Amino acid sequence: MENLANIIALANKAKNRAISPLFNDPSRVEKMSVTCADIFLDYSKQNIIESELTALVDWANHAGLSEKITQMFNGVKINRTENRAVLHTILRASEQDKKTTLGREIASEVIATEQKMAGIVDDVYQGKRLSLSGQKFTDVLAIGIGGSYYGIKVGLSALKPYQNPELDVHVLANVDGGAVQEKLNQLNAETTLVVVISKTFTTQETLLNAQTVKAWMLASQVTEDIIAQQWLAVSTNIDAATQFGIAKDNILPMWDWVGGRFSLWSAVGLPLALAIGNDNFSAIKRGANTMDQHFLNAPLSDNMPVLLALLGIWNRNGLGYSSLAILPYDHSLRSLPGYLQQTDMESNGKSVSIQGEKLEWKTAPVVFGQEGTNGQHAFMQLMHQSEDIIPCDFIVAMQSQTDLAKHHNVLVANCFAQSEALMQGKTLEQATKDLVSQGVTREEAATLAPHKVMKGNTPSNTLLINKLTPKTLGALLALYEHKIFVQGALWQLNSFDQWGVELGKTLSHQVLVAMAGEAPAGLSDSTLSLINHYKKENQ
């Protein structure tokens, strides 16, 4: 029976294998590509052969992956440490599926919330929901961080062509006063609708940002009515949101069975729905649901999220690569790497099994990246010439969102060239030959050529999106959600809690106490010294 140890042993034989010669099989690309929801995945540049892929799929089968997928979709409480189901998928399913999975009562709450959300968008668009001074809203300010921010940010960056030109939607996440001031400088309190998004309504950054924005707004209109009229909240913590001063009828619920980093599909998506309209927001959910159906029904060997997950485990645990570069060759997807850093590293950046035992294998890779072609002028040098092999996910649209065809040709050409160059590399012999052919003397070439060698053999996936639309964006986000679920399931960890963020939060409160007066016990001399430096500058 396949298990991860067997997979690692199998991969050890592949470690020194060159990828390029694998293309001697003329059918390799055909066999190592799959299409779903207007997304084409070419994984033929991975360092893997069919028998190894079969072993991975066999392992997934023996690990009961299909059952685990079904359990998640059916609402089994797989988030064992918080005793919760994981049901972000139901938010983009049909009403019938909602009723079947959630039961009629909760399903009706979810449906009512969706309708309320859509109603808010319609009323703002039609001027039925006005500011306190009776004006149409010109701006929306979404205050939230992590999962209460990243999904909205990705959507706003990705779907500019779909946005309502009469309503400017802003996001505020960082507690840094610079971020707050930058937003307030752009806004008119009289015509700004504020949406505070916090699943717990206890997040330090979000609450301080909300307090500051509230004070700013009250300074312009000295009546609390402006908060009642122009503030909305999205949270599971209705009491805390009400205590903050937000009218109960302006609070949209979310449920504990939707993880923060998986919550765009809930009322957390309200700022994005306000930006692009209800139809486009529904299209995002339809795209995600298309990927859900593929994930539920496609055989594991032809299942896009499962393949991405297994290839990631092959690279991480088998070939020993510790990072993953997310390289969207698309300015509109520039926020995707940051979004996936949370979705991937906050889900699977763990070292204890779901049973609480120390894991014997590595888990989530370090995820990084930025839009191409910018990355080619930042970290690609390392990717080509350091000893480290860093697998890449290239993502590029076949049709541009603009009419600048020449630019799109160059963008796409660079995307394809980078995956080819990372795989092919350049040997010392090739580097020398190139130099001599350029007229460099053999002596000079002998000196320079070693500096021009590129290791190659870097594996990559290339995802071709037909065109970046609400539907394909939804499918893309769902693809990665499911990939990350599969990896967590096979690594036997809980992808849906995030206890690792607690210590930092606790210590930040202790540091604040020390900044205000007596330092609590337990802080290191280094931190105490840093605090004293800060206090000297801010007395």
Catalytic residues: 346, 377, 505
Q: Which is nearer to ligand F6P, 198 or 335 (CB)?
A: 198
173, 179 contact by CB (below 8 A):
yes
145 is a contact residue toward ligand F6P (CB under 6 A): yes
250 is a contact residue toward ligand F6P (CB under 6 A): no
209 is a contact residue toward ligand F6P (CB under 6 A): no
Q: Which amino acid is at 7?
A: I
143, 194 contact by CB (below 8 A):
yes
Least distance from ligand F6P to the Cβ atom of residue 267, Å? 12
Least distance from ligand F6P to the Cβ atom of residue 149, Å? 8
Candidates 113-121, 199-207, 368-376, 415-423: pick the segment binding ligand F6P (CB under 6 A): 199-207
CA distance 45 to 50: 13
Select the residue interacting with ligand F6P from 148, 335, 401, 418 (CB under 6 A).
148
Exposure string of 160-194, with b = 16+ CB inside 10 Å and e = fewer, is eebbbeebbbbbbbebeeeebeebbeebebbbbbb
200 is a contact residue toward ligand F6P (CB under 6 A): yes
Q: Please enumerate in sequence order all residues whose Cβ is within 8 A of that of 229, keeping only pairs 6 or more positions apart, or say none.
A: 131, 132
Select the residue interacting with ligand F6P from 38, 79, 89, 147 (CB under 6 A).
147
Least distance from ligand F6P to the Cβ atom of residue 172, Å? 13
- Of residues 213-232, those binding ligand F6P (CB under 6 A): none
199 is a contact residue toward ligand F6P (CB under 6 A): yes
CA distance 493 to 351: 8
90, 102 contact by CB (below 8 A):
yes
Q: Which is nearer to ligand F6P, 186 or 204 (CB)?
A: 204
Cα of first residue to Cα of last residue in the chain, in angstroms, is 66
**Could you tell me whether strands 366-368 and 392-399 are parallel, antiparallel, or unpaired per DSSP bridges?**
unpaired
- Of residues 346-375, those binding ligand F6P (CB under 6 A): 346
CA distance 412 to 93: 34
Candidates 142-150, 151-159, 217-225, 511-519: pick the segment binding ligand F6P (CB under 6 A): 142-150
CA distance 519 to 137: 46
Select the residue interacting with ligand F6P from 501, 512, 513, 528 (CB under 6 A).
501
Q: Please enumerate in sequence order all residues whose Cβ is within 8 A of that of 443, keeping only pairs 6 or more positions apart, or say none.
A: none
The beta strand positions in 31-167, using DSSP E, are 33-36, 39-42, 139-143
Least distance from ligand F6P to the Cβ atom of residue 537, Å? 29
Q: Which is nearer to ligand F6P, 198 or 419 (CB)?
A: 198
Least distance from ligand F6P to the Cβ atom of residue 260, Å? 3
261 is a contact residue toward ligand F6P (CB under 6 A): yes
Q: Which is nearer to ligand F6P, 341 or 419 (CB)?
A: 341
378 is a contact residue toward ligand F6P (CB under 6 A): no
Q: Which is nearer to ligand F6P, 366 or 417 (CB)?
A: 366
Least distance from ligand F6P to the Cβ atom of residue 339, Å? 11
Which one-letter DSSP state was computed for residue 493?
Answer: S
Candidates 91-99, 167-175, 197-205, 439-447: pick the segment binding ligand F6P (CB under 6 A): 197-205
Place of tokens 């913590």: 237
Q: How many residues bind ligand F6P (CB under 6 A)?
A: 14
Q: Which is nearer to ligand F6P, 348 or 498 (CB)?
A: 498
CA distance 13 to 25: 19
Q: Which amino acid is at 326?
A: I
Select the residue interacting with ligand F6P from 230, 280, 462, 498 (CB under 6 A).
498
Candidates 144-152, 188-196, 328-336, 377-385: pick the segment binding ligand F6P (CB under 6 A): 144-152
Q: Please enumerate in sequence order all residues whose Cβ is within 8 A of that of 297, keeping only pairs 6 or more positions apart, or say none.
A: none
304, 294 contact by CB (below 8 A):
yes
Least distance from ligand F6P to the Cβ atom of residue 137, Å? 23
470 is a contact residue toward ligand F6P (CB under 6 A): no
146 is a contact residue toward ligand F6P (CB under 6 A): yes
350, 500 contact by CB (below 8 A):
yes
494 is a contact residue toward ligand F6P (CB under 6 A): no
Q: Which is nearer to ligand F6P, 52 or 205 (CB)?
A: 205
79 is a contact residue toward ligand F6P (CB under 6 A): no
Candidates 145-153, 329-337, 350-358, 506-514: pick the segment binding ligand F6P (CB under 6 A): 145-153
Query: If 0-12 CB within 10 Å is exposed, 13-18 middle and 19+ buried, where does residue 511 land?
Result: middle
278 is a contact residue toward ligand F6P (CB under 6 A): no
Least distance from ligand F6P to the Cβ atom of residue 501, Å? 4
Q: Is 37 left (phi over 0), alpha (psi -120 to 50) or beta?
A: left
CA distance 401 to 488: 34
Q: Which is nearer to ligand F6P, 53 or 156 (CB)?
A: 156
203 is a contact residue toward ligand F6P (CB under 6 A): yes
Q: Which amino acid is at 219?
A: A
Least distance from ligand F6P to the Cβ atom of residue 273, Å? 18
How far is CA 233 from each of CA 191, 196, 277, rounded to the nearest angstrom? 17, 5, 19
CA distance 338 to 40: 23
Q: Which is nearer to ligand F6P, 260 or 459 (CB)?
A: 260
Neighbours of 204 (CB within 10 A): 13
Q: Which is nearer to ligand F6P, 268 or 489 (CB)?
A: 268
CA distance 539 to 535: 6
Task: For residue 484, give the nearest of 329, 334, 259 by alpha carbon.
Answer: 259
198 is a contact residue toward ligand F6P (CB under 6 A): yes
CA distance 234 to 254: 7
Q: Which is nearer to ligand F6P, 206 or 373 (CB)?
A: 206
356, 499 contact by CB (below 8 A):
no
Tell me which residues touch ligand F6P (CB under 6 A).
145-148, 198-200, 203, 206, 260-261, 346, 498, 501
